[in-house]
Structure 1
Amino acid sequence: MAHPQVLEAPTLSAQNDEQDANRHLANYHPSIWGDFFLSYASHDSMEADDDNKKHQKLKEEIKGMLADHANKPPKEVLELIDEIQHLGVSYNFQSEVDEILEIFFEDENRWNLGDDDGDADLFHISLQFRLLRQHGYKISCDVFKKFKDSNGGFKASLVSDVRGMVSLYEAAHLRVHGENILDEALAFTTSHLDSSSMAAHDQFSSSNPLAEQARRALDRPIRKSLIRPEARHYMSVYQEDPLHNEVVLAFAKLDFNILQKLHQKELSDITQWWKSLNISQKLPFVRDRVVELYFWMKTLVRVYFVEAQWCERKYVPTMEEYMAVALLSCGYTTLASSSFVGMGDIATEDAFDWVSSNPKIIKASSIINRLMDDIVSHEVLNIIQVMSPVVAVMVSNKNHVDGSA
């Protein structure tokens, strides 16, 4: 099986030097993307149709797997759901996954994963807990008490179960305030999953995909990851697992590439518009970040221009003036609003009205976000340091996934 082909995004050396002279605000450099997306080549219509047909065929196969959940071992069903979520394609099967997890939550006896102390399955119990918590079910953390010893600590024998330890580590990130057992689980798994502690275990050899999963989890747990970059990484690990599902992997690669092409086309159109207006030359104090702003909303663009005008006029706003703009420019309110997109019936008109009314919880979160950002940005860290890796994963033609199996 071929490995995904990942190349580098455009480098700063490819920028137009003459534009640097026009940038006098905090030494903002031109966009590293330059004319990269102007050269976008659209899919041949026949090729696109073929990809869409393959995509639909594989999608129906996976739907069939999910529909047959009652005839499959519960552990196999949980793993299938985890795989399609980790590979970033679960949005294609939202109703099917919701239905299955509701059954898991309401009929625990039917989905028995081994409740006896001698038969407790750390991996699957942790996985079930995490999946249910991710979908909003109030499953009790008491399910982990069976893994404690007589002294109140987690059993030492668990350390040799690397797969289970990684699963428990990921589950512990779904804890809420007061769940001490999950606080202990996070400390326990973190201390034993580092490379020095696990080096003695055969499962943790550098050639084992499980070792890479553990290292990745310690660096960036699923709970704190962005779906598409994490999916792009996981494809490389998942395809090395001898037990991986060929249909799911093929679908994930194809789905990734189709969506990537859509981003590229949209960015090509936006870049052509931006270049035609010659914004970066007419307004040299504006950060040339049209590619990054593609992922944001019009509100952010407007407040960015206000901040640019303040700087151009050398105007120092009052704290009240600054916060009125800065609470929007930090992007938290935009993210809160956009998070409702795709949530189905939950995202009612009332829900959007509520989040648009700037309730106290949104305002308080925005203040924290803004001030934390300001503490860092006093060192003039450029937004490209944050956004470029994400943009590269999602839209760069050089990050195309090899769909061969």
Structure 2
Amino acid sequence: MAVSNNTEEATTIEASVWGEFFINYEPKPLQRSEQWMVERANKLKEDVSTRLQTCNDLVERMHLVDAIQRLGIDHLFKKDICGILSVINGSEFPSSNLHDVATRFLLLREHGFWVSSDAFKKFRGSDGRFINDVTDDPRGLLSLYNAAHLLVHDEPELEEAIFFARHHLESMIRRGDLNPPLVDQVKRALHVPLTRTYKRVETLHCMLEYEQEEGHIAVLLDLAKMDFNLLQQVHLRELKAISEWSKDLYGHIELNYARDRAVENYATAYILFHEEGLGLTRLIFAKICALIVIMDDTYDSHATIEECRKLNEAIQRWDETAIPLLPDYLKKFYCKILNIFKESEDQLTVNEKYRVSYAKKEFQNLSTYYLQEAEWSHQDYKPSFKEQVELSTMSSTVPLLTVAGMLGSGEAVTNEAFQWAASHPSCVIACAKIMRFMNDIAAFKCRKSKGDVASSLECYIDEHQVTSKEAIAKFDSLIEDEWRTLNKARYECSSLLPAVQLVVNIAVAFAFFYDGRKDAYTFTIHFQEVIDNLFVKPIPI
């Protein structure tokens, strides 16, 4: 998640707003004991599982799956959900209701099943336009709007569906036609469509809104609240551990110019995977993120060009014999790089240890990309827009984050997935471009670079002789195009869906951090309320 900062800005980068909060934080006692909650959650899981297995109505089962996903408890019923969606995909769908058809479209495409956009033809007249009845169905329009954002390239009918639904939903809001909770759901979707939202934040909204919905199932909401609070205890323990680890790391390496983003790194891991059994993955991922930030700040805002070359040479050698190459102030950091990767390998099972070699290779690649950027800056080289994008997408950290996110994932991720990620497939590059374009827009908005190589946005402005407003509009279009590539990967690489979903989640994380053209990773004041809601405040039961 590293973000470029030039020398002039390095002294003004916001320090961690968390300090030792999570090291010293003692959560308030829960309304019920943890043991009682575990037992109650287990009973509720049995009830929900029975409901999933015994429900014979196809549409009802589909909406049950949808509610389970929105409430954030789908990780408890993965096998059941997979089976139900397979049945839905292979069955004739009995409903002609827009909300039902759009929900089916969204669920199936999201889970790697191909569904033709012809599914929405029945809602169009002979002239190809949506029929009037649709404009009076706000819930159906909202579902259409969210589902259509899973479009791939060359689906103009879904592009038109997005425009159509947005137009009518915005008109409904202006007229005051919508009541809570639907009006709030519409506003959130118009800001960020459901398929690109930070799911755990959306879960918080859903838990507040679900009981207001007609026909809601109380047992689902009870389980969602219980599960969220139980996981929150797990996540707090991990936050404490990573905060203590980070304090020791920064105290040891003594690099005062480097940003401490322990909480943000952990929160990124949490966006990618929040399940209880993936604690090791979250911690390894957060530690690698910390190394990325320090390395980025070293290359970008502190080291001389000769020191950059020596650091890269040492990282390519990946051996303690390279320590003498380095200036004294970087020797401890270099040793920590070697140690952290070795510790990560030791924490994996015998059959998983090979995975660390993929992460090490991507870390070495990232160092090379950072050095190339430093060389360009040192030489006052002005790259073309194409050159800049080619390099800066690779230095975006996405290839490394993809591999790092799979290290401790157990059998859910195979060796084939690591080989796929190492080949830098189109969806990884698409995610990297989303990150790069969003980062460069945010950087341009809040602090135009002065000493660095021009950003992709600045290169585009210079090369095409357009205004910043025109360039940003173009970048928004490019970002949408890359989302289509990500969507396409869901069904093109359905055998690798867990890995593809990880890449999608990385894109979601970037979209979250850069929401509103802000950089909430670097300037973490924008992130405090979310952290408080996710990790500090339990859900009232």
Give the TM-score, by structure 1 length.
0.79
Q: Could you say what secondary structure the match of 1:212 adopts? A: helix
Match of 2:124 among 148, 167, 179: 148
2:289 is the counterpart of 1:305: no
Residue in 2 that maps onto 1:20: none
Q: Label 1:165 to 1:272 Cα distance change in 2 as closer, same or farther (>3 A).
A: same
Residue in 1 that maps onto 2:167: 191
Q: Which moved more, 1:319-328 or 1:304-313?
A: 319-328
Q: Aligned runs of 1:6-405 on 2, under 5 Å?
A: 25-41=10-26, 47-70=33-56, 73-108=57-92, 111-113=93-95, 120-196=96-172, 199=175, 201=177, 204-205=178-179, 208-276=180-248, 279=251, 282-294=254-266, 295=268, 297=285, 298-310=287-299, 311-315=301-305, 317-319=371-373, 330-337=396-403, 347-359=413-425, 362-363=428-429, 365-366=431-432, 369-370=435-436, 372-378=438-444, 379-380=446-447, 381=519, 382-384=522-524, 388=528, 390-395=530-535, 397=536, 399-403=537-541
Q: Could you say what secondary structure the match of 1:194 adopts? A: helix
Gaps of at least 5 residues in structure 1 are 1-22, 114-119
Q: Label 1:62 to 1:331 Cα distance change in 2 as closer, same or farther (>3 A).
A: farther
By how many angstroms is 1:288 displaced?
2.2
Q: Is the 8 A contact 2:11 2:257 kept in 1?
A: no
Q: Could you say what secondary structure the match of 1:253 adopts? A: helix
Q: Label 1:374 to 1:164 Cα distance change in 2 as closer, same or farther (>3 A).
A: closer
Matching residue's letter, 2:17: I
By how many angstroms is 1:266 displaced?
1.2
Matching residue's letter, 2:203: A
By how many angstroms is 1:280 displaced?
9.5
Q: Could you say what secondary structure the match of 1:261 adopts? A: helix
Q: Label 1:274 to 1:183 Cα distance change in 2 as closer, same or farther (>3 A).
A: closer
Q: Which moved more, 1:226-235 or 1:381-390?
A: 381-390
Q: Label 1:353 to 1:220 Cα distance change in 2 as closer, same or farther (>3 A).
A: same
Matching residue's letter, 2:65: I
CA distances 1:50-91 after superposition (whole Å, capped 9, x unpaired): 111111111111111111132xx2222111111110111111
By how many angstroms is 1:105 displaced?
0.9
Q: Is the 8 A contact 2:261 2:290 kept in 1?
A: no
By how many angstroms is 1:198 displaced?
6.3
Q: Label 1:198 to 1:370 Cα distance change in 2 as closer, same or farther (>3 A).
A: closer
Q: Is the 8 A contact 2:17 2:525 kept in 1?
A: no
By how many angstroms is 1:359 displaced?
4.6
Gaps of at least 5 residues in structure 2 are 1-7, 270-284, 309-370, 377-387, 448-518
CA distances 1:161-184 after superposition (whole Å, capped 9, x unpaired): 111111111111111222222222
Give the distance between the partners of 1:364 and 1:227, measured in 2 at CA. 21
By how many angstroms is 1:30 displaced?
2.2
Matching residue's letter, 1:105: N
Greater percentage in helix: 2
Q: Could you say what secondary structure the match of 2:223 adopts? A: helix
CA RMSD of aligned residues (A): 3.2
Q: Is the 8 A contact 2:49 2:80 kept in 1?
A: yes
Give the distance between the partners of 1:43 and 1:107, measured in 2 at CA. 49
By how many angstroms is 1:281 displaced?
9.9
Give the distance between the partners of 2:192 and 2:262, measured in 1 at CA. 28
Q: Label 1:180 to 1:318 Cα distance change in 2 as closer, same or farther (>3 A).
A: closer
Q: Label 1:332 to 1:393 Cα distance change in 2 as closer, same or farther (>3 A).
A: farther
Q: Is the 8 A contact 2:258 2:297 kept in 1?
A: yes
By how many angstroms is 1:337 displaced?
3.2
Identity across aligned pairs (percent)?
Answer: 31
Q: Is the 8 A contact 1:228 1:393 kept in 2?
A: no
Q: Could you say what secondary structure the match of 2:14 adopts? A: coil
Give the distance between the partners of 1:318 and 1:372, measured in 2 at CA. 21
Q: Which structure carries more relative contact order (alpha carbon 8 Å, separation 6+)?
A: 1
Q: Could you say what secondary structure the match of 2:243 adopts? A: helix
Q: Which moved more, 1:133-142 or 1:93-102?
A: 133-142
Give the distance between the partners of 2:396 and 2:197, measured in 1 at CA. 19
Q: Which moved more, 1:81-90 or 1:233-242?
A: 233-242
Matching residue's letter, 1:245: I
Give the TM-score, by structure 2 length.
0.61
CA distances 1:3-46 after superposition (whole Å, capped 9, x unpaired): xxxxxxxxxxxxxxxxxxxx982412321112221233369799
Give the distance between the partners of 1:210 and 1:400, measured in 2 at CA. 24
Q: Which moved more, 1:272-281 or 1:125-134?
A: 272-281
Q: Is the 8 A contact 1:40 1:265 kept in 2?
A: no
Matching residue's letter, 2:24: S
By how many angstroms is 1:330 displaced?
2.9
